[in-house]
Amino acid sequence: MLWVKAFHIVFVASWFAGLFYLPRIYVNLAQVPADSVAERERLLLMAGKLLRFTTLLAVPALVLGFWLWLGYGIGRGPANGWLHAKLGVVLVVLGYHHACWLLLRKFRRGENRRGHLWYRWFNEAPVLLLIAAVVLVVVKPF
């Protein structure tokens, strides 16, 4: 199980690296002048490739996490509220990932109505989610 745990951590860290950087590309996209077609297309290409790669990293992270859950039997019995909270964080991260996909689709269609400041704040969410998940797993506060 230690190998499964190790690779789970690697894939989760890699998945979050993509979620940290993708909204940063959106900040840049929101700042691109309307007449700068080449820059916009380059950033859209980068965002699309990063989103695909990040999605590919999320799959093994989730599969390995499920494997750990089954293997350790965590969540059964008292004092496992931390796991339920962590699973809630995972659902929020999946929602954030999906929101990144929806935002990229809006950028591609030219339908973005948000400014770069909104994307700067949006970019902070995965940091908070990662902190929450790590604290829940390591500290197990409840």
Q: What would the pLDDT profile of 110-130 be if each residue is shown by its tens digit?
A: 999 999 999 999 999 999 999
- pLDDT reported for residue 71: 83
Comparing CA positions, the residue from 23, 11, 134 lying closest to residue 63 is 11
User: pLDDT value at position 79?
Assistant: 72
pLDDT (tens digit per residue) in 26-66:
999 999 998 999 999 999 999 999 999 999 999 999 999 99
What size, in residues, is the chain?
142
Residue 83 has a pLDDT of 87
Say whether 74 sits in a helix, a strand or coil. Answer: coil
Q: What is the separation of C-alpha 42 from the centre of its chain, rounded to a whole number of angstroms?
A: 22
H helical segments located in the chain:
2-31, 37-72, 81-109, 116-122, 125-139
Instruction: Break the chain into its structural domains and give their ranges.
Output: 2-139
- Confidence at residue 55, expressed as pLDDT on a 0 to 100 scale: 98
- In degrees, to the nearest 5, what angle opens at C-alpha 11 toward C-alphas 86 and 17? 90
* Residue 67 and residue 5 in contact, taking contact as beta carbons nearer than 8 Å: no
Contact 68, 74 (CB under 8 A): yes
Does residue 73 have a pLDDT over 90? no
Which stretch of 15-19, 53-57, 68-72, 77-81 has the lowest confidence by average pLDDT?
77-81
**Model's pTM, two decimal places?**
0.93
